[in-house]
Amino acid sequence: MQAFLKSGKLGDATNKSNDEMSTFLKKSKLPWVEKYRPRSVSDVVEQSEAVSVLEQCMIGADLPHLLFYGPPGTGKTSTILAAARQLFGDMYKDRILELNASDERGIQVIREKVKHFAQLATSGVRPDGKPCPPFKIIILDEADSMTHFAQAALRRMMEKEARSTRFCLICNYVSRIIEPLTSRCTKFRFKPLNNFMMFERLSYICKEEGVEYDDAALNTLVKSSGGDLRRAITYLQSCAKLKGHNETIKNDDVLEVTGVSDIANLYFAFLNARHIRYCL
């Protein structure tokens, strides 16, 4: 019996079952923001211009340097990660370098981390034999926090490594990116999500997670998030944890979690409108 368990089908089935359970538990523990992140470009909500252009670029695997700008929580990072998944399949983690430029904003990071990754050789074939674009993607989040010297160094690197590397710059304020960089990128402005789209997405998450809710509560959640879907999903998960299983999320629960009132909602809407005008 022991020999059978070590080498027979029963042992294989047990190992497979354990692997599946481990994958399920790992996925269930993910924050909802990550769990419901778009897996493909077509899943990205609202940003129709960026989605349509990226879908055309991926047909021939001809991706330009990209610059995504706009308010937080509108899908900028999710969009480029979804594109990388479609382009590289299971090996996408080996083909992307994601840096937060607000933490690593100096010229030394550009010279060391970015340069080293850009010079790595890439293959045009996946491990499963399928074709794969022969380039890598470097994602620089919060690129508007980079120093001017670092941006100038990045410009030279974009020219030198263009054949093997594509750069995606992500920022809130495009005016803080130097012109020589913006001129080398295809620019997309990500706008805040409208209330209907956010309500639909939050409703979908509630159904997937088995969460009961009042429409009024979800509407308050949408308004208090100011077009930031990431913030709305985080608030929703907090409300669900607060109420527990088989309890309905009500308007008062949302107000308690978000800490806002109707007056504060108006203030958030005002700030959001100013932010959009600044990004234009």
Range of the domain at 200: 195-279
CATH code where residue 213 lies: 1.10.8.60
The answer on pLDDT for 127 being more than 50 is yes
| DSSP letter string, 225-244 | HTT-HHHHHHHHHHHHHHH-
Q: How far is Cα of residue 148 from the mean position of the Cα atoms in its chain?
A: 26
- Say if residue 42 is in the same domain as residue 160: yes
Q: How many CB atoms lie within 10 A of CB 222?
A: 25
- The pair of three-digit structure tokens given for residue 273, joined into one six-digit string: 């409108």
In percent, the amount of the chain with pLDDT more than 90 equals 28
Who's near 140: CB < 8 A, 6+ residues apart?
Answer: 99, 101, 114, 146, 154, 167, 168, 169, 170
Q: Are both 181 and 229 inside the same structural domain? A: no
Same domain, 215 and 265: yes
Among the candidates 189, 204, 236, a domain finishes at 189
Do 59 and 119 fall within a single domain?
A: yes
pLDDT tens profile 23-78: 443 445 788 999 998 888 888 878 888 888 888 887 777 788 999 999 998 899 99
**Residue of 200 and 159 predicted with greater confidence:** 200
Locus of tokens 């909500």: 45
- Which CATH number covers residue 105? 3.40.50.300
- Report how many domains make up the chain: 2
Q: Is 118 inside any structural domain?
A: yes
Length of the chain (residues): 280
Is the distance from CB of 178 to CB of 148 less than 8 angstroms? Answer: yes
pLDDT tens-place string over residues 132-147: 788 889 899 888 888 8
**Same structural domain, 268 and 225:** yes
Which of 167, 189, 211 is the last residue before a domain boundary? 189
Q: Tell me: pLDDT of 167 over 70.
A: yes
47 and 154 co-located in one domain: yes
- pTM value is 0.76
Mean pLDDT of 167-181: 92
C-alpha distances (whole Å) from 53 to each of 40, 47, 60, 142 are 14, 11, 12, 22
Check residues 121 and 142 and name the one with the higher pLDDT: 142
**H or E element: which one contains 102?**
none
Best-predicted range by mean pLDDT (18-22, 52-56, 157-161, 175-179): 175-179
Residues in CB range of 8: below 8 A, 6 or more apart: none
In eight-state DSSP terms, residue 131 is B
Residue 78 in domain: yes
Ranges 113-117, 202-206, 242-246, 247-251, most confident: 202-206
- 54 and 169 housed in the same domain: yes
The pLDDT value given to residue 106:
64
One domain for residues 242 and 146? no
Shared domain check, 121 and 53: yes
Given a cut of 50, is residue 204 above it in pLDDT? yes
Among the three residues 189, 212, 234, which one is the final residue of a domain in this structure? Answer: 189
User: Given this model, what pLDDT does residue 66 score?
Assistant: 92
Name which of 2-11, 208-217, 240-249 the model is least confident about. Answer: 2-11
Q: How far apart are CA 209 and CA 33, in angstroms?
A: 13
pLDDT-derived band at 11 (thresholds 50, 70, 90) equals very low
C-alpha dist (Å) from residue 204 to 68, 126, 131, 167: 26, 34, 34, 33
Number of C-beta neighbours around residue 186 at 10 A: 15
Q: Are residues 55 and 179 in the same domain?
A: yes
- Across 34-48, 109-123, 128-142, 171-185, least confident range: 109-123
pLDDT of residue 260: 64
Q: Which of 87-91, 172-176, 190-194 has the lowest mean pLDDT?
A: 87-91
- pLDDT, averaged across the chain: 79
Identify the band that residue 170 occupies on the pLDDT scale cut at 50, 70 and 90: very high
Q: What is the largest CA-CA distance in the chain?
A: 72
Strand 165-171 versus strand 248-249 pairing type: unpaired
- Regarding whether 157 and 125 lie in a shared domain, the answer is yes
